[in-house]
Amino acid sequence: MEESKAMKQQPKKNLWKPEEDLILRSYVETHGEGNWAIVSQESGLMRGAKSCRLRWKNYLRPNIKRGGMSKEEEDLIIRMHKLLGNRWSLIAGRLPGRTDNEVKNYWNTHLNKNGLQDKRKANNSNSCKKNDDNNSDDGNNKKQKKVINQIYYPQPPICSDNGTDLAHDIQRRNQEENREKQDPWNMDDITSSHYNINSPMIPANNTTFNFDDEPYFDHLDPFFLFEAFGCSSVDASLDNM
């Protein structure tokens, strides 16, 4: 009985504390990445190998970008997802400083609105419908507040590669939302040749995106691939198809 009581009181999600981060960071910086089982044993952290690896990969690694996605990043995610589906690690590989987990969460919470709505309608079919009427427009404002209120790693919106400040970003998002309200999820707009994407296609970690093993590209229009990725490495890959 006492045991089950203790189990109930124990939080199921074990958030990383700043001191744990410090330990893991210093251990990895000293001994290098890899051998996560050993890391979890020798660092003194009461964490599993997977947990250590995930924490390092998603939060402690150098050059991790925290904060909200820029519009350019958002555009890229949409395009990449249309091409690749839920290949989050591949998509994240095209977004320097972003992790697969972050991209996945961003997609599920901000971009995959239709899917979420369907899911929630299914879950709450006989309960409060309040959210169905207006859940398409206030998510970004909430997100901005949340970004500012980061607990462990409070940071300014460094996500904007071009130095866009938060207020401007919010204004721009509101404009986008108004457009979206008229025709939500308008993929024609995204794939249109008139739809400009400003961010260069910079591979993460100075690596080249490898299309050789991607059967998905066999079925795609080369022009559309160029339209979506617009970089010379793709041209080279396309030549080999």
Partner DNA sequence: AACCGCCTCAACCGCATGGGG
Partner DNA sequence: CCCCCATGCGGTTGAGGCGGT
For the segment 66-85, give every residue that binds DNA (CB under 7 A). 68
- Classify residue 180 by burial, with Cβ atoms within 10 Å: 0-12, 13-18, 19+: middle
Q: Which helix (H) or strand (E) holds 222?
A: helix 222-229
Please report how close the Cβ of residue 208 comes to DNA at its closest, in angstroms: 15
83, two tokens: 């091409």
Distance (Å, whole) CA 67 – CA 149 = 10
Distance (Å, whole) CA 222 – CA 111 = 25
Distance (Å, whole) CA 122 – CA 117 = 8
Tell me if 110 contacts DNA by CB under 7 A.
yes
Please report how close the Cβ of residue 196 comes to DNA at its closest, in angstroms: 26
Residue 22 or 195 with smaller CB distance to DNA: 22
For the segment 177-236, give every residue that binds DNA (CB under 7 A). none
Among 29, 118, 137, 138, binds DNA (CB under 7 A): 138
For the segment 12-41, give every residue that binds DNA (CB under 7 A). 12-16, 34-37
Tell me if 120 contacts DNA by CB under 7 A.
yes
Closest CA to 179 of 190, 191, 164, 168: 190
Among 61, 96, 139, 227, binds DNA (CB under 7 A): 139
Distance (Å, whole) CA 106 – CA 78 = 11
Give the residues lining the site for DNA (CB under 7 A): 11-16, 34-37, 47, 49-51, 53-55, 57-59, 68, 86-90, 100-102, 104-106, 108-110, 120, 124, 127-128, 130-131, 135, 138-140, 142-143, 145-147, 149, 151
